[in-house]
Amino acid sequence: MRSSFAILPIAATVVGLSACLSSTSAELSTALAPAASVGTSVECDSGCKTEWERAQLWLAKHAPTKVQSATDVQIQTYNPPEHHAWYGFSIIKEPIGGGRYKISATLGCGNFIGCSPKEVDVRNALLYYVKTGDDLLGQTRLM
Does residue 60 belong to any structural domain of this protein?
Answer: yes
> How many domains is the chain built from?
1
Instruction: Give 21-78 pLDDT, tens digit per residue.
Output: 456 788 888 888 989 999 999 999 988 999 999 999 999 999 999 999 999 999 999 9
- For residue 17, name the pLDDT band (cuts at 50, 70, 90): very low
**pLDDT score recorded for residue 43:** 97
Does residue 42 belong to any structural domain of this protein?
Answer: yes
Name the pTM for this structure.
0.81
Report the side by side order of strands in the sheet with 87-97: 41-45, 100-109, 87-97, 74-77, 67-70
Count the Cβ atoms, other than its own, within 10 Å of residue 96.
Answer: 11
d(CA 77, CA 88): 6
Does residue 142 belong to any structural domain of this protein?
Answer: no
Does residue 139 belong to any structural domain of this protein?
Answer: no
Residue 20's domain is classified under what CATH number?
3.30.310.80
- For residue 118, name the pLDDT band (cuts at 50, 70, 90): very high
